[in-house]
Homo-oligomer: A and B are copies of this chain.
Amino acid sequence: MTATSAIAIEVAEPQGESLEALETPCLIVDGPIYDRNVARMKDRAKALGVMLRPHLKTTKSTELAAELTVGPDHAATVSTLKEARIFAGAGFNDLIYAVGIAPGKLPDVIELIRGGCDLKLVLDSVAQAEEVAAASRAGNVAIPALIEIDCDGHRSGVAPGDAETLLAIARTLCDGGADFRGVLTHAGESYAALGKDAQRRAAEEERDAVVIAAALLADADFPCRIVSVGSTPTSLAATDLTGVTELRAGVYSFFDLVMAGIGACTIDDIALSVLSTVIGHQKDKGWILIDAGWMAMSRDRGTSKLPVDQGYGLVCDAEGRPYEDLVLISANQEHGVVAIRPGSAAALPELEIGDLVRILPNHACSTAAQHDRYHFVDGGDGQVTRTVSRFMGW
């Protein structure tokens, strides 16, 4: 999609296999749905007048990263230094490592910066700022850093109005030899915000938090070149990002049942599924056994607190069409138990041993993380159009 001249990508395998030739369980991506999701977020960022900096932790693939990113710099977000190393190695040189920095990781950070990657760190304490400044001086490298802002009490970050801490961190960075770049926040609570109105309010809180902090910092002569917000629900719900420079989001390229459950997408927008084979029945119980358990789906039960509990996943036929109320009700390591959702009057479909099914995941990030490749298909035609490798671990 995007020009990728400076980007090195890795392709896992030749294309053209049929689904029947794949060893189950494995990951399937519906290519046209994925393409539509990727284009939608690019359009959103354009319409909102901000740069898109996609989070690569969902897909963990250099090939897909080249498609998700935009512009000549392919700006992106990562969640581990392994991601930073791999993406920087492939030519993605405008990265934010969006997890609070641990001092023990600074030698690796300096090595990446020296290698040509503009790797921006995130921190929320003077103690971290002192470590980053000391490493900058010792390494003779001005490490770029952003202050994390807490917009919703979800996890880390400085309160947006806590001028004392904000200025102390900025001063420690600037005076100590690091490179203060701005502020960043993430509306983690938006993943539990039911409906567009709640997501729009979360987007406003997210924007307000960084804009307030950036203004406090600018007033004290610490201008913010980067004012970064983002989560998939808020990115899709935001109407006004005045004062923000960039948008981060990750799960939107695949979407999942949690995103559909809160109304951030529809079931038809979910591009990722796990292909699995029927391996048995317990007819008295209305159970169908498949070879996808929690190892293939992950242990994520993110829909358990949403209005519709999807178990460990919603079961579709091999072409990707959901069966009515058919879910993975329980999972062992390599066994899944498929049954009609409790309370539903839907009929159990006739599925024979050896039949293929596709399971939509609760959480695309955690399900994808269990696998080392994606098999792309073109809707329901049963042919693999491309196979893309992904990486795991730290």
Contact = CB atoms under 8 A, between A and B. Distances in A.
A334 interface: yes
A291 B296 CA distance: 24
Interface string A147-158: 000100101100
A365 B26 CA distance: 19
A26 B299 contact: no
Contact of A392 (B124, B131, B287, B372): B372
B279 A99 contact: yes
A104 B79 CA distance: 37
A286 to B, nearest CB: 13
B131 A335 contact: no
B291 A353 contact: no
A100 B393 contact: no
Interface string A76-109: 0001110000000000000000011111110010
B366 A294 contact: yes
A317 to B, nearest CB: 16
B392 A23 contact: no
Given A300-B299, A366-B299, A79 B127 contact: no
Report copies per complex. Answer: 2
A131 B81 contact: no
A128 B372 contact: no
Contacts of A298: 298-299
A334 B278 CA distance: 34
Interface in A353-367: 353-354, 363, 365-366
A101 B279 contact: yes
B289 A100 contact: yes
A188 B335 CA distance: 11
Chain A interface size, as a band, is 35 or more
Nearest to A354: B103
The CB with the most chain B CB atoms within 10 A, among A280, A300, A352, is that of: A280
A282 interface: yes
The CB with the most chain B CB atoms within 10 A, among A279, A285, A298, A372, is that of: A279
The CB with the most chain B CB atoms within 10 A, among A26, A105, A334, A394, is that of: A394
A120 interface: no
A301 interface: yes
14 contacts: A23-B105, A23-B394, A26-B394, A57-B333, A100-B279, A100-B280, A101-B279, A103-B354, A125-B281, A155-B330, A188-B332, A294-B300, A371-B394, A392-B393
